[in-house]
Amino acid sequence: MQHFLDINDFSREQLLAILARAQAFIQQDLVRDEALLTGKTVANLFFEPSTRTHASFDLAAQKLNAHVLNLDIQNSSTKKGESLLDTVLTLQAMGVNIFVLRHSESVMRSVAEILNPGVRLINAGEGCGGHPTQALLDVLTIQQHHKNFDNLAIAIIGDVLHSRVARSTIAALKMLGCQDIRLIGPKNLLPTDIEGVRHEVDLATGINNVDVIMMLRLQHERMRVMFVDDPQNYVAEYQLNKKTLALAKPGAIVMHPGPINRGVELTDEIADSEQSVILRQVKNGVAVRMAVLTMPQG
Ligand code: NCD
């Protein structure tokens, strides 16, 4: 596969192979391959804010010995009216081999079309549509706790409507056999176009006996209208705290793609608890991105 744009572009076997490769990077079995991108240039183009995704792509490419270009979008010719496609063509002419792109609009397919054969594009977050490398690190984190996805119950709580992470992670979970995925939140923040999931507006009912809890931030920057009229009500109804976590299966893992808003979707106590795997997700992110950057081109 030349590009990495959408979880659904891949088969279950391909997905499992990337996860295995990421796990091998974590265990350093692939340490001898760490110079795999020697002589290659990776360009990180982040048109939206990012800490985890950007830093981990940067580190992953450096660990693989690539030249890494982090374009400073705020001070780039984008501000002089240059289009995204012209920016990409310009950098391609300088010899960039892999583009890592985050953008607020659905631009991935049109960028992929203008790339030369052999030049790769990796989706690092596209509007509300998808964030496939985040999905991989999410399922890798779950896989480290549960060998099998078939019998897992997973709750995704919060602003699912605006979450590209949720969309991609749900696609990956379904591909890996997960049959009990519950989307929990206020009705207007639950997307109606995702199949094979259960909707639940009551947190206590939805979270009952789940193995995995994935919390999401309210993405105010993507809300065109007021989705949450009273933030205090939202906290009262949907916050993960000691009391609400106790309704899940004992030992359930707590995930969050970050950035977390402490005191809103989850309390400090939960974010820093032993059940929280939030920093494990971050750690896995570097290995997943190394695996995607070195995916066979076939
Ligand atoms: C998320 C994103 O940008 O989609 N963050 C991430 O990449 N880890 C989620 C968010 O911004 O809430």
pTM to 2 decimal places = 0.96
Question: Is 132 touching ligand 1 by the criterion CB < 6 Å?
Answer: no
State mean pLDDT over 30-41: 83
Structure confidence at residue 220 as a pLDDT band (50, 70, 90):
confident
Question: Is 217 touching ligand 1 by the criterion CB < 6 Å?
Answer: yes
Q: Measured in angstroms, how far is the CA atom of residue 163 from the centroid of ligand 1?
A: 8
118-129: pLDDT as tens digits:
999 999 999 999
> What CA–CA distance (Å, rounded) separates 20 from 291?
9
Question: Is 125 touching ligand 1 by the criterion CB < 6 Å?
Answer: yes
178 three-state secondary structure:
coil
Name the helix (H) or strand (E) containing 118. Answer: none
Question: Is 261 touching ligand 1 by the criterion CB < 6 Å?
Answer: no
Specify the ligand 1 atom closest to the Cα of 217. 12
Q: Measured in angstroms, how far is the CA atom of residue 39 from the centroid of ligand 1?
A: 30
- Measured by CA distance, the residue closest to atom 7 of ligand 1 is 53
Structure confidence at residue 30 as a pLDDT band (50, 70, 90):
low
Minimal CA–CA distance to 39: which of 79, 85, 98, 123?
98
Q: Measured in angstroms, how far is the CA atom of residue 32 from the centroid of ligand 1?
A: 32
Q: Beta 212-215 vs 253-255: how paired, if at all?
A: parallel
> What CA–CA distance (Å, rounded) separates 93 from 66?
17
Chain centre distance of CA 215? 13
Q: Which amino acid is at 205?
A: T
Q: Mutation test of ligand 1: which of 53, 58, 286 has the most ligand atoms closer than 8 Å to its C-beta?
A: 53
Place of tokens 């997973």: 154
Specify the ligand 1 atom closest to the Cα of 125. 4
Q: Measured in angstroms, how far is the CA atom of residue 53 from the centroid of ligand 1?
A: 8
> Does residue 58 register a pLDDT over 80?
yes
pLDDT averaged over every residue in the chain = 95
> Does residue 264 register a pLDDT over 70?
yes
Question: Is 167 touching ligand 1 by the criterion CB < 6 Å?
Answer: no
State mean pLDDT over 35-62: 97
233-252: pLDDT as tens digits:
999 999 999 999 999 999 99
Structure confidence at residue 163 as a pLDDT band (50, 70, 90):
very high
Burial class (CB in 10 A: 0-12, 13-18, 19+), 238: buried
- Measured by CA distance, the residue closest to atom 8 of ligand 1 is 257
Question: Is 258 touching ligand 1 by the criterion CB < 6 Å?
Answer: yes
Question: Is 219 touching ligand 1 by the criterion CB < 6 Å?
Answer: yes
Cβ–Cβ < 8 Å for 119, 145: no
How many residues in the chain?
298
